[in-house]
Amino acid sequence: MKTVCLIIAAILATVALSFALPIACALYFGETAMIKPFAIPMACMLFAAAAVFVSLRGKRQPLTLRESFVVVALSWSLASLFGAIPLYLSGVIGDFSSAVFESVSGFTTTGATIMQNIDSAPRSINLWRCLEHWLGGMGIVTLTVALLPLLGVGGFQLIKAETTGPEKGKVTPKIGETAKLLWAIYVGLTVLQTLLLKWAGMTFFDAVCHAFATLGTGGFSTKSESVGGFHSAAIDIICTIFMVLAGVNFSLYFYVFTGKIRELKTNSELKAYLWIFAICTALITLFLRPVYGSLLTALRYGAFQTASIITTTGFATADYMQWNPAAQFVIFILFFFGGSSGSTGGGIKIIRWVVLGKQINNEIKKTLHPHGVYSLRLNSQPSGKGIIISVASFLFLYTILVGAVTLISCAFNLDLFTALTASLSMVGNIGPAFGALGPSQTWAAVPSALKIVYCFAMLAGRLELYTMLLYFFPSFWKR
């Protein structure tokens, strides 16, 4: 328990230190009223963390697997509550439940917002919202492990509990080095996109915010019309490219930088991800051709929205609720995919569909040739049956959670399709839904009690279900 408290204190201190950026932004733009909402909770958290470190200093015990899940679940929950304080104290969001919803949506990179006048919001608040995406995208625990080697105790278990996808490993021998490497790649891509967006016509402030939101696959914007508010084809193209890049397993970038190109060529998930993106983009472009009158314009909007939904970013350049039913159906199907394992994207993850697809193919072969022996191969290597069981169990649990959240949403008088797509959006960390919660709408009208349910769904989805749902299983509490 001593180690658990120390690590949670360190993670929350890391989040508190990140308040320095919006404080600097407030000072630069003369938003003096916005300094206290950030400075007061920052000072309180740092003082509390220092007190924990002083009172619990000494030899740390290794974390058990159970404690690792507790640390990650508590860290994300407390970080989201802590991140809501500036939103509430600033007066930008009037009630605390809405502020918590906005903060959870930020950290989990969901991007569903309750804010209706984003353009007129203080720049420091908009920066914090997008910064939450960036911190949550790669992972606040991963960042803390990278910054503080003292958390090496159980570091790999912590990152495994936070990282997305069924395949989790180290790209370097030491987990601290892996965390630093992943964050270095993440920062590099963020800087590159910021420069490109600035070149394309955004202000430096807008470029930074949208780079944070894109690489974190979050979807918060500095404009009420999202990226579409800039009315720029160049900006749309840049964001589309970087959304697709953010949906790729970040470990593959390490292999690119170290010359191991073969890892890309044999990666089953990457090939499936790019094929799904290409096919869905082509279909939506085909269906939108009569709407926009130009093939290139239809491709621009189709590729952007495909990238936005498949990576669960949630940006918008058009209201797909106004598109024809065929294009809407493709968007709806994309709600079930998500980014790659080890990416900042949410959702079910492409790798799980790859595993199921290969297993279905094996079952068909067995039907035709009962005496044949067929193994499941990923990345040109044989995989055990364990991954099939893992994927099937995850999808079953995912379906149960979506069904439960849909039922609760219907109990709050949301129509069935809005309730279903809202639940898929919350658990998959997508952002927009359909119907009354489509891309041109905010989530402000959602009742406070339902917002809390959605907060849990967003956290469960970001942490791969088990980290948040283990506590409901009696076996978790047995020694």
**Over residues 174-185, mean pLDDT:** 75
CB atoms within 10 A of CB 90: 23
C-beta of residue 77 within 8 angstroms of C-beta of residue 8:
no
Highest mean predicted confidence (pLDDT) among 146-155, 197-206, 339-348: 197-206
pLDDT of residue 64: 75
pLDDT surpassing 70 at residue 146 = no
C-beta of residue 254 within 8 angstroms of C-beta of residue 181:
yes
* Tens-place pLDDT, residues 79-130: 999 999 999 999 999 899 999 999 999 999 999 999 988 999 999 999 999 9
- Please report which confidence band the pLDDT of residue 166 belongs to, taking 50, 70 and 90 as the band edges: low
Tell which residue, 342, 7, 311, 340, has the closest CA to residue 171. Answer: 342
**Percent of the chain surpassing pLDDT 90:** 63
Q: How far apart are CA 226 and CA 206, in angstroms?
A: 11
Q: Mapping DSSP to helix (H, G, I), strand (E, B) and coil, where does residue 322 land?
A: helix
336: tokens are 């079930």
pLDDT of residue 163: 57
Q: How far apart are CA 288 and CA 250, in angstroms?
A: 32
pLDDT of residue 202: 96
Mean pLDDT of the chain: 88
Write b or e for each residue in 147-158: b if 16 or more Cβ atoms lie within 10 A of its Cβ, otherwise e: bbeebeebbbbb
pLDDT of residue 172: 54
Q: How far apart are CA 387 and CA 6, in angstroms?
A: 34
pLDDT surpassing 90 at residue 250 = no
SS3 assignment for 39-71 = HHHHHHHHHHHHHHHHHCCCCCCCCCHHHHHHH
**Over residues 42-59, mean pLDDT:** 85
103: tokens are 């903060």
Q: Tally helices (H) and strands (E) across the chain.
A: 22, 2
**Over residues 407-417, mean pLDDT:** 96
- Please report which confidence band the pLDDT of residue 342 belongs to, taking 50, 70 and 90 as the band edges: confident
Q: How far apart are CA 429 and CA 418, in angstroms?
A: 16
Length of the chain: 479
pLDDT of residue 344: 87
Q: How far apart are CA 264 and CA 256, in angstroms?
A: 8
Q: How far apart are CA 394 and CA 352, in angstroms?
A: 9
CB atoms within 10 A of CB 12: 23
Residues 6+ apart with CB under 8 A from 44: none
* Tens-place pLDDT, residues 2-18: 778 888 888 899 899 99
**What's the pTM?**
0.92
Q: How far apart are CA 23 and CA 235, in angstroms?
A: 28
The DSSP string of 130-199 is: HHHHHHHHH-HHHHHHHH-GGGGTTHHHHHHHHS-SS----SSSSHHHHHHHHHHHHHHHHHHHHHHHHH
Residues 6+ apart with CB under 8 A from 434: 321, 328, 332, 417, 418, 421
Write the Ramachandran bin of 71: left for phi over 0, alpha for psi from -120 to 50, otherwise beta.
alpha
**Over residues 318-341, mean pLDDT:** 94
Tell which residue, 52, 67, 56, 60, has the closest CA to residue 150. Answer: 60
Query: For residue 422, how far is the Cα from the chain centroid?
Result: 16
pLDDT surpassing 90 at residue 67 = no
* Tens-place pLDDT, residues 263-279: 788 888 999 999 999 99
C-beta of residue 108 within 8 angstroms of C-beta of residue 314:
no
Question: Tokens 């230190």 appear where?
Answer: 17
Q: How far apart are CA 456 and CA 462, in angstroms?
A: 10
- Please report which confidence band the pLDDT of residue 153 belongs to, taking 50, 70 and 90 as the band edges: very low
- Please report which confidence band the pLDDT of residue 139 belongs to, taking 50, 70 and 90 as the band edges: confident
Q: How far apart are CA 10 and CA 285, in angstroms?
A: 48
